[in-house]
């Protein structure tokens, strides 16, 4: 009898929404009304009133006793060029999040912030405030000015966002006017921005011709007809990796490797379907970071360098893609599930519930996956902190 009563009460609670909570963050959203109260608890005392279009990180959702849905959020007050971190509760009706914002997504780039590209050529920006010549602006608004977008890119620290439109024009938040000296077909970020133009020239910082002497592999560099086959660009602070449609890796020096680590055997990095590079801690010591490289072969096996990274992911199989973060690694399996592993003592975001994922991106303190239906899965806990701002 008691067992039946417990089951009955549990069913009633779920039906009414009392105490109902959903695991995992809902991710980035936006305040959709003016001066909405952020409260200390559900229905509690007001902490602050948030302006319209304030970007928020939705941690969880929960219904009150009346069945009204509330969001537990972290808010970055960057509309007025400041960046103050608040955490509290807000009625869900005042926040656009989830499928209201992140739908029909075909590509995503994440760092300290995030950009998502939709199938209709529009895009959405979220996260930290955007670096701009005249100061800082809200992450939403800049991206609303563009359509016919074919590639989006978030900078390493999420304070600059870039895109290329279908006509090849490069646009960046760091500069009032689009860069029109060259038409681009592909961008990549490696501390330095690299781009391949429509006539297949490799440019560094989007406007400087890449020096042929900066090529690591092949030594003589790639000619225009070979650059035409490059399909992806990534890199660490010291190396930029280019992936060809034949699955081969080519390497450009993006700066001096202060640790003088030996180069991987790039000639044997073949049959590659996905590649990433970053500057990672690798768990060697608290203050030690190193250039790190990882690639997934068509058979689902993994190549990684240096050896400290290979020890962590070199045994992974049945993989489709891997993304590096300074302190943890995100992987996508062929079955559409995901896995994370921390470097050193770092606890990575929990992606154990992700399914039907087609692509992934790793931000500074969060990660995101594109579902088969074009919606997004989020994990982690984003903190709205930008350089030069105070936290309260």
Say if residue 204's pLDDT is above 60.
yes
Q: CA 37 → CA 31, 101, 381, distances in Å?
A: 10, 21, 22
User: In sequence order, what DSSP letters do the residues of 342-375 get, joined into one string?
Assistant: ESTTPPPP--TT--SEEEEEE-SSEEEEEETTS-
Q: In this predicted model, what pLDDT tens digit does every residue of 280-299 receive, in sequence order?
A: 877 654 556 788 999 999 99
Return the ∠ at Cα 83 (arms to 351 and 142), rounded to 5°: 80
On whether the CB atoms of residues 381 and 24 are closer than 8 A, the answer is: no
Contact 171, 165 (CB under 8 A): yes
Read off the pLDDT of each residue in 319-327 and give the average, rounded to a whole number: 94
Residue with tokens 């602050």: 48
Most confidently predicted of 56-70, 123-137, 205-219:
56-70
What's the rounded Cα separation, in Å, for the pair 379 and 363?
Answer: 10
Give the pLDDT score at 192.
72
Structure tokens at 216: 């690591």
Q: Give the integer Cα–Cα distance in Å for 198 and 260.
A: 35
- Which of 259, 247, 331, 253 shows the shortest CA–CA distance to 297? 247
Q: How far apart are CA 148 and CA 143, in angstroms?
A: 12
Closest CA to 138 of 254, 52, 44: 52
Q: What is the mean pLDDT of residues 124-139?
A: 75
Residue 82: pLDDT band (50, 70, 90) is: low
What is the Cα–Cα distance from 241 to 272, expressed in whole angstroms? 12
pLDDT at 389 over 60: no
CATH match for 16-99 among 3.40.50.850, 3.40.50.410, 3.40.640.10, 2.30.30.170: 2.30.30.170
How many other C-beta atoms lie within 10 A of the C-beta of residue 93? 13
User: Is the confidence at residue 12, as pLDDT, over 50?
Assistant: no
Environment class of residue 11 by beta-carbon count within 10 Å: exposed (0-12), middle (13-18) or buried (19+)? exposed
Q: What is the mean pLDDT of residues 214-230?
A: 93
Mean pLDDT, rounded, for 330-350: 95
Give pLDDT tens digits for 27-57: 999 999 999 999 999 999 999 998 888 889 9
Distance (Å) of CA 240 to CA 42, 274, 281:
48, 14, 18
- At 70, the pLDDT band (50, 70, 90 cuts) reads very high
User: Is it the case that residue 6 has pLDDT exceeding 60?
Assistant: no
Most confident of 8-12, 192-196, 223-227, 287-291: 223-227
Cis check: omega of the bond before 122, within 30 degrees of 0: no
């Amino acid at each position: 009898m008691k067992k039946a009563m417990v089951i009955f009460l549990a069913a009633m609670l779920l039906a009414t929404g009392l105490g109902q909570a959903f695991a995992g963050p809902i991710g980035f959203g936006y305040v959709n009304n003016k001066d909405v109260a952020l409260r200390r608890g559900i229905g509690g005392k007001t902490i602050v009133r948030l302006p319209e279009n304030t970007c928020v990180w939705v941690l969880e959702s929960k219904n009150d006793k009346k069945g009204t849905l509330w969001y537990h959020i972290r808010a970055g007050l960057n509309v007025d060029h400041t960046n103050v971190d608040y955490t509290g509760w807000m009625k869900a009706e005042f926040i656009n999040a989830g499928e209201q914002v992140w739908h029909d997504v075909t590509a995503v780039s994440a760092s300290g912030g995030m950009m998502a590209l939709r199938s209709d050529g529009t895009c959405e920006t979220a996260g930290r405030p955007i670096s701009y010549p005249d100061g800082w602006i809200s992450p939403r608004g800049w991206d609303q000015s563009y359509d016919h977008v074919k590639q989006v890119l978030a900078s390493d620290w999420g304070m600059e966002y870039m895109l290329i439109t279908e006509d090849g024009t490069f646009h960046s938040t760091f500069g009032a006017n689009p860069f029109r000296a060259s038409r681009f077909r592909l961008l990549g970020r490696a501390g330095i921005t690299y781009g391949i133009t429509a006539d297949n020239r490799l440019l560094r910082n989007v406007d400087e011709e890449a020096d042929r002497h900066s090529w690591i592999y092949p030594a003589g560099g790639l000619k225009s007809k070979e650059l035409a086959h490059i399909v992806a660009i990534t890199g660490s602070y010291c190396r930029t990796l280019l992936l060809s449609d034949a699955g081969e890796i080519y390497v450009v020096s993006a700066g001096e490797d202060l640790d003088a680590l030996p180069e991987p055997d790039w000639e044997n990095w073949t049959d590659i379907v996905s590649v990433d590079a970053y500057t990672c801690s690798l768990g060697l010591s608290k203050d030690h970071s190193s250039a790190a490289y990882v690639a997934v072969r068509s058979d689902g096996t993994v190549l990684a360098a240096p050896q400290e990274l290979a020890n962590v992911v070199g045994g992974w199989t049945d993989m489709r893609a891997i993304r590096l973060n300074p302190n943890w690694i995100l992987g996508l399996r062929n079955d559409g599930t995901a896995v994370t592993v921390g470097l050193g003592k770092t606890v990575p975001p929990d992606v154990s519930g992700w399914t039907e994922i087609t692509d992934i991106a790793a931000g500074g303190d969060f990660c995101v996956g594109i579902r088969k239906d074009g919606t997004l899965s989020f994990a982690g806990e984003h903190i709205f902190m930008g350089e030069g701002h105070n936290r309260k």
